[in-house]
Amino acid sequence: MAKPTSVVDTSPSVEAQGAPSRKANNTPGIVAWADDRLGLGKVGRTGLRKVFPDHWSFLLGEIALYSFIVLLLTGVFLTIWFKPSMAEIHYDGSYQLMKGMPISEAFASTLEISFDVRGGLLVRQIHHWAALLFVAASTVHMLRVFFTGAFRKPREINWLIGVGLLSMSLMAGFTGYSLPDDLLSGTGLRFVDGLIRSIPLVGTWVEFLVFGGEFPGSLIISRLYMAHILLIPGLLLGLVSAHLALVVYHKHTQYPGPGRTENNVVGYPLFPVYMAKAGGFFFIVFGFLVLMGGLFQINPVWNYGPYDPAKVTAGSQPDWYMGFVEGALRLIPPFWESHWGGTTWTWAVFVPGVGLMGILFTLLGVWPFVERWLTGDDREHHLLDRPRNAPTRTALGVAGITAYGLFWLGGSNDIIATRFSLSLNAITIFLRIAVFVGPIIAFIITKRICLALQRADRERALHGSEDGVIVRSVEGGYSEAHVPVDAHEQFALTQHLQRQALAAGGSTDAAGVAKKGGIGGLRARLSRWYLGSDIAKPTAAEIEAAHHHDEDDHDRPVLEGSSHR
């Protein structure tokens, strides 16, 4: 078991005596020169001994970071060869099936990268797989943060940065996905054009601004290119840097366990342990992406052909992270429109397209503050929750995942219908109902499971576990003894805070002084709904009494045919 590690700061009185000359040691000249001017030695002594906890779920964020690094490396290579122009030329490359066809320079350069540049197809596919992995790892990392309560004070700002990173990653993926100017990516651009046009009052003007006229225009590829290689990567780099800086500043959260408190970090230092592990894990992620790029074909644009506004690719599907928006559009009835003042307001496109993404990121952004309002918890938290100990939060998260998954399935309702020989209309009607009923069912089931696990933890803390040995007494009865859990497990089962629902009326601070304002009835009712069903964890007195009871019960004679704990 890792022991708490600390960094010992040098006393000011010792520093006042003066440091030995740099020339007296064996430090290389360039290093000593840089240390004299930048203070790298002090920064290194503090930073390299920074302690980080060890748990497999913390690798999810590292996968996202390493995928982003691979994206930057492969993106530089692709930037050298790609031509972001919609100017029409006649193809004269090595792909014989398109010889002489009128295509854009962007599509022609994509074909050149795929067939004529040495290693181009491999790098292009690594880039695409890395983009998918980056979004997936970021999403799962945020789910881990949500379910364990790592967004609570003092990390609300870092949570907001994470929400920004997730939204920027979706934009980066979409802009890159659209650059080849093939029929599939053009279909996706037509989809986005419809979303923009559905914005009430200003939709048409925004479309003209983005596309330089009516869709598809002649500027969108070059504009997406600038956003994809400059604007969005710059924002991502800034947000990633701020995210990592706040992780170091606030110290890393950790799971509850022996020796772990809100005031320390139990783990290993950055150097040499985590630098070695992180370096090795980076090459594992990089190697995995290279294998995927070399073995699994993705986005074969030559099969789709150049974009033609009059055509649509049969069975076209966006990258997975945008599937929920397309699914929502397919599930909303198409006749939901309003006609006001000579204008048409297409709610069937605006609400599931623009509105759904706005609702998603708004809910993610405000959740830390909503939970703080519901619980009245203003303490700092550096120990993570077990998801079962926050049953309502966990149930809400699973309900959200269920709704997302059903929308995602709706985005491929045509593929499901053709592959399984089912009715497209029947699938759509089922999903329209399930997208409302499914999250409610998932919420109820998840909360009941969490409460059942809480009861099981309480029972285990009080009475331990069966030792697995069935004993028959001389009277013919059978019994199985219970073995108390060890102190480490007992701590893990009982360390979590027992949160109480807020009561309506005035509130007081720790000194008993009345605070301004008070807790309203609505807030109190919502707090009871959020916290009121939690199972009370056993107190120290209850655990002691249960142990004495088990010992006395074990010593009592057993009647024939009876059993006991």
pLDDT tens by residue, 93-122: 899 999 999 999 999 999 999 999 999 999
- pLDDT: is 419 or 512 the higher one? 419
Of 394, 381, 387, 386, whose CA–CA distance to 492 is shortest?
A: 386
Which of the pair, 412 or 514, is modelled with greater confidence?
412
> Would you state the pLDDT for residue 338?
82
pLDDT value, residue 27? 56
pLDDT of residue 463: 80
Give percent helix, percent strand, percent coil of the chain, each to the nearest 5: 60, 5, 30
For residue 559, the model assigns a pLDDT of 42
Give the model's confidence band at 558: pLDDT under 50 very low, under 70 low, under 90 confident, else very high: very low
Tens digits of residue pLDDT in 365-383: 999 999 999 999 899 999 9
- Amino acid identity at 69: I
What is residue 367's predicted lDDT score, i.e. its pLDDT?
96
How far apart (Å, rounded) are the C-alpha atoms in residues 339 and 416? Answer: 35
> Rounded to a whole number, what is the distance in angstroms from the first to the last CA of the chain?
32
For the residues 219-227, what does the mean pLDDT come to? 94
| pLDDT value of residue 19 | 44
Question: What are the DSSP calls for 276-292, one per residue?
Answer: HHHHHHHHHHHHHHHHH
Mean predicted confidence (pLDDT) in 260-269:
87
Burial class (CB in 10 A: 0-12, 13-18, 19+), 428: middle
**Each residue's pLDDT tens digit, 471-482:** 888 888 887 777
Report the C-alpha gap between 394 and 41 in whole angstroms. Answer: 45
The H or E element containing residue 471 is: strand 465-472
Neighbours of 93 (CB within 10 A): 15
- Residue 560: pLDDT band by 50, 70, 90 thresholds? very low
pLDDT of residue 503: 87
Specify the pLDDT at position 348: 87
Could you tell me the CA-to-CA distances from 250 to 46, 51, 160, 196, 273 in Å, in that order?
15, 12, 15, 40, 21
Q: Please name which of 411, 548, 132 lies closest in space to residue 299, comparing C-alpha atoms.
A: 132
H helices within 387-471, ranges in order?
391-410, 413-419, 424-463
- How many other β-carbons are positioned within 10 Å of the β-carbon of residue 538? 21
Q: What is the dihedral of CA 363, 366, 368, 372, to 10 degrees?
A: -120
Task: Judge residue 39's burial from the number of C-beta atoms within 10 Å of its C-beta, 0-12 exposed, 13-18 middle, 19 or more buried.
Answer: exposed
Residue 59, token pair as written in the block: 């690798």
Does residue 549 carry a pLDDT above 90?
no
pLDDT of residue 74: 96
List, for residues 161-202, the tens digit of each pLDDT value: 999 999 999 999 999 999 999 999 999 899 899 999 988 888
> DSSP state, 230?
I
Euclidean distance between CA atoms 235 and 230, whole angstroms:
9
Does residue 128 have a pLDDT over 80?
yes
What pLDDT is attached to residue 526?
92
For the residues 293-322, what does the mean pLDDT come to? 88
Of 73-77, 308-312, 424-428, give the lowest mean pLDDT range: 308-312
pLDDT of residue 357: 92
Q: Above pLDDT 70, what percent of the chain?
A: 89
Q: Which residue has the tokens 């004269």?
A: 92
pLDDT number for residue 555: 53
Q: What is the mean pLDDT of residues 54-77?
A: 94
What is the pLDDT of the chain when averaged over all its residues?
86
pLDDT value at 22 more than 60 = no
Work out the average pLDDT over 125-154.
96
Helix ranges (H only) for 464-514 are 487-494
Is the pLDDT at 230 greater than 90? The verdict is: yes
The lowest-confidence range among 135-149, 487-501, 544-558 is: 544-558
